Amino acid sequence: MDVCHADIHPCTGCVACGYEGPCVQKDDVEMIRQKLLASDMVVFATPLYYYGMSAQLKLVVDRFCAYNSSLNSRHLKSALLTVAGSHCNHMAVNVDCICLRNLSAIGENV
């Protein structure tokens, strides 16, 4: 799915979800969550802008907090594909951080 064109609101940090869901915001994140729960693996693809994932993908990842337990219980495999216009070694380090800190929240990185 292309999150670039999805209606996704930023997490407000209200914690009404109690980190178990559902999120109080009414947008496309619930549809994305349902697709994730029906999957065995998720592949994230993003350009790196200023050493980080795109803002659109970051919106989705930030909203995972409302569904941590349901996503973790699925033990999804995840992979990250990135492209960057720089040869800077810092890019590789940041990709590792994205995988370890963000994507590992939903399952096992492959």
d(CA 97, CA 78): 14
Mean pLDDT to the nearest integer, 44-51: 83
Is 13 in a helix, a strand, or coil?
Answer: coil
Is 30 in a helix, a strand, or coil?
Answer: helix
pTM: predicted TM-score of the whole model, two decimal places? 0.77
Where is pLDDT greater, at 38 or 76?
38
59 to 49, 53, 73, 87: CA distances (angstroms): 14, 10, 22, 26
CATH of the domain at 19: 3.40.50.360
The per-residue pLDDT for range 63-77, each reduced to its tens digit, is 888 887 777 777 778
Q: Which helix (H) or strand (E) holds 46?
A: strand 41-47
The range of the structural domain enclosing residue 38 comes to 3-109
Count the domains in the chain.
Answer: 1
Binned at pLDDT 50, 70 and 90, residue 1 comes out as: confident
